[in-house]
Amino acid sequence: MRITLIGSGNVATHLGAALKNAGHYILQVYSPNYQNAALLAYHVKAEAINNLQQIIPDIDLFIISIKDDAIDDVAQALAPHQKPIVHTSGATPMQTLLKYTEHAGVFYPLQTFSKTKEVDFRQVPMCIEAAYEYLNFDLKQLAQSISNNVYQVSSDQRKILHLAAVFACNFPNYLYSIAQQLLQKHDLDFNLIRPLITETAEKVQSKLPNKVQTGPAVRNDQKTMAAHIELLKEEQGLGQIYHILSQAIIKMGEGPLGVK
Write down how long the chain is.
260
Q: Which residue type, as a one-letter code, is found at position 169?
A: C
Quick one: average pLDDT of 171-198? 97
Please count the CA atoms within 13 angstroms of the CA of 148 that sit on its side-chain side: 3
Dump the DSSP string for 5-19.
EE--SHHHHHHHHHH
Instruction: Give the other-Cβ count within 10 Å of 257's Cβ.
Output: 6
Q: Which domains does the chain have, with CATH numbers?
A: 2-153 (3.40.50.720), 159-251 (1.10.1040.20)
Q: Show Cβ contacts of residue 2 under 8 Å, excluding neighbours closer than 6 positions.
A: 24, 25, 27, 58, 59, 60, 61
Residue-level pLDDT at 256: 45
- In this predicted structure, the answer to whether residue 142 has a pLDDT above a threshold of 60 is yes
Determine the pLDDT at residue 253: 66
Average pLDDT taken over every residue of the chain: 94
Residue 71 pLDDT level (bands cut at 50, 70, 90): very high
